[in-house]
Chains A and B, each alone.
Chain A
Amino acid sequence: MHPAPSVIIFSVFSGMGFGLLAMLGFGFAQAYGIAGFLWWGLGYSLAIAGLLSATFHLANPKNAIKAFSQWRSSWLSREGIAAVATLVILAPMALSDWLNLGWWRGFGCVGAVLALFTVFTTSMIYTQIKAVPRWNHWVTPVMFMAFAITGGAILAGLPVALWLIWTVGAALLAMWWIGDGAFARAGETMGTATGLSAIGEVTVFEQAHTSGNYLLREMIYVVGRKHAAKLRIIAMGLAVALPALILVLIPAPFGFALAAVSHLIGALAARWLFFAQAEHVVGLFYGQR
């Protein structure tokens, strides 16, 4: 799949943002006055920047408002609704923390649960697609949730981040380990795609078109996989190992700030691979993956 920067930035930034909003909403990290404003502002900024980035992926954004309508069947629609609901419901809590009003934390807890649900809906947009076997597994939501909760905990300056970060490492390893065999396990081949396996072995005699098309650019994007092994090491190093080391060696708050930057860059590398390594079964019609 084509690793579009808008979608990578959207899912990483909004994931981390909603993770931080969840930590602030539950009240795991509390600050008042200007510090409270900045903390909540960071959470809102990341979440909103991510959502805005997602709209750059749309070829016809003027109809984006209609995306709130199909929550009955569409995870993408559910995500839009959950994201907006989270930002609205958490607003009183943010106001309360900023101005030290001491309002009831119920709003915060509901909003925090919604924030995590938003990240879950994001992950389900990919998980639901059977045509992309690498994504079509429960490990995908686990990976998204691990990134959001860990990223949120680092940004919130919670010491537990040092332990949470290993869930990201485990989720990435599981994602890669399970994902590498997923296409083969799904069992689709050129023979099943064309239905010609009953006759014999199918190969491409001539392509359907001599130049590129939307399918080749969007779903059969092989360029991004070239440096997969190196990118995996970079992702694991920057998202997990280095931030863990920083959290141990450098005291708060600088440790958390440095760890957050490293974790964010690592998460972007991991998310690039999430798209670039995902193979769509439509490639079989072209004899490619």
Chain B
Amino acid sequence: MTTLPATTPKKLGLAIDLDTCVGCQACVTACKGWNDQGAGLSDQDPYGADPSGTFLNRVHSYSVQPIEGASQIVNFPRSCLHCDDAPCVTVCPTGASYKRAEDGIVLVNADDCMGCGLCAWACPYGARELDADQGVMKKCTLCVDRIYNENLPEEDREPACVRGCPTGARHFGDFADPESKVSKLSAERGGFALMPDLGTRPVNRYLPPRKKDMRLEASVLAPLLDIKATGFAGWLDRVLGKI
């Protein structure tokens, strides 16, 4: 049913640390790898001149120029934010799109999807991509087939992107619980939502880059240039200096 649940007891989602992310794309490949099982995520012309494919997660790189000081590079993973007020769900005419009442995960039932693409239009975040081979909409499932999967070792029961992140920039948890790791992280670091004015009430939070250290007036290389030789080299330095 494409009406949204009034509230969900759990709000599962991701906290993505823009300070720690190095833009290595490991989350992109981990996501594609895990979700490529079964029906999978198709690619078109993957090794040809004009490759294209279905991805549930994309990592952008931005240059941010503060008013003072040097510009910063911010790597920015973008995927479904599992919005509380998900516009992609309510527009769906077939009932394929839904938000789970128990944990708030937004999913697509491929057996009901007619591939009209209206949900992708309704999403401000570009979280949904139509699979060109299968003709149905694909989106982040928050690895619903991992997080509750008792056949996996406990440490693997988190989304593939979180498990695969080498720098620990991605955190998975329940935002409805103020004591959860992600809630605390978000509160501590000033986690923010994307385009909140559009009224989608995203669950995922982004943790802003930390403030840079104070920059010294002199070159950071200065201590390295002022070398004091010791031992034989020091004796030679002193002797030659006196001649």
A residues with a Cβ closer than 8 A to B are 1, 57-64, 66-70, 72-77, 80, 125, 128-132, 186-188, 190, 192-196, 198-209, 211-215, 218-219, 280-282, 285-286
Contacts and interface: CB of A to CB of B under 8 A. Distances in A.
A282 B114 contact: no
A207 to B, nearest CB: 7
B124 interface: yes
A122 B111 CA distance: 25
B188 to A, nearest CB: 17
Given A1-B121, A66-B95, A204-B62, A214 B129 contact: yes
B65 A212 contact: no
Contacts of A63: 94, 96, 111-115
A286 B59 CA distance: 11
A263 B67 CA distance: 53
Contacts of A198: 208
B61 A206 contact: yes
Interface in B48-90: 50-55, 58-67, 71-74, 76, 78, 87, 89-90
B116 interface: yes
A72 B126 contact: no
Query: Looking at B65, B66, B195, which has the most chain A CB atoms within 10 Å of its CB?
Result: B195
Query: Looking at B4, B67, B92, which has the most chain A CB atoms within 10 Å of its CB?
Result: B92
Contacts of A190: 62
Interface residues of B, number: 67
Interface string B124-167: 11100110101110000000000000000000000000000000
A200 B74 CA distance: 11
Nearest to A54: B116
Interface of B: 1-4, 18, 50-55, 58-67, 71-74, 76, 78, 87, 89-96, 111-118, 120-126, 129-130, 132, 134-136, 192-195, 197-199, 206, 208-209
A58 B116 contact: yes
- Secondary structure call for the B interface: loop
Contacts of A76: 91, 93, 116, 118
A130 B87 contact: yes
B108 to A, nearest CB: 11
Contacts of A74: 2, 90-93
Given A59-B136, A130-B124, A213-B52, A66 B66 contact: no
Contacts of B73: 205
A219 B1 contact: no
Nearest to B67: A200
Given A70-B94, A198-B208, A213-B129, A60 B114 contact: yes
Query: Looking at A75, A195, A207, which has the most chain B CB atoms within 10 Å of its CB?
Result: A195
A196 B198 contact: no
A75 B130 contact: no
Contacts of B71: 200
B190 to A, nearest CB: 9
Given A190-B62, A195-B192, 18 more contacts: A59-B117, A59-B130, A61-B115, A66-B93, A67-B116, A73-B4, A73-B92, A74-B91, A129-B121, A131-B121, A131-B198, A192-B195, A196-B62, A196-B74, A200-B72, A204-B62, A213-B53, A218-B130
B126 A130 contact: no
Query: Looking at B1, B116, B192, B198, which has the most chain A CB atoms within 10 Å of its CB?
Result: B116
A187 B136 CA distance: 32
B239 to A, nearest CB: 52
Contacts of B64: 196, 199-203
Contacts of A202: 62-64
Contacts of B199: 130
Given A59-B136, A280-B121, A193 B52 contact: no
Contacts of A215: 120, 126, 129
B107 to A, nearest CB: 15
A41 B47 CA distance: 51
Given A73-B3, A209-B58, A219-B120, A67 B94 contact: yes
Contact of B78 (A201, A208, A211, A218): A208
A196 B63 CA distance: 10
17 contacts: A58-B135, A60-B115, A64-B114, A66-B93, A67-B93, A67-B116, A69-B94, A72-B1, A76-B116, A131-B87, A193-B195, A196-B76, A199-B64, A205-B61, A208-B59, A211-B51, A214-B52
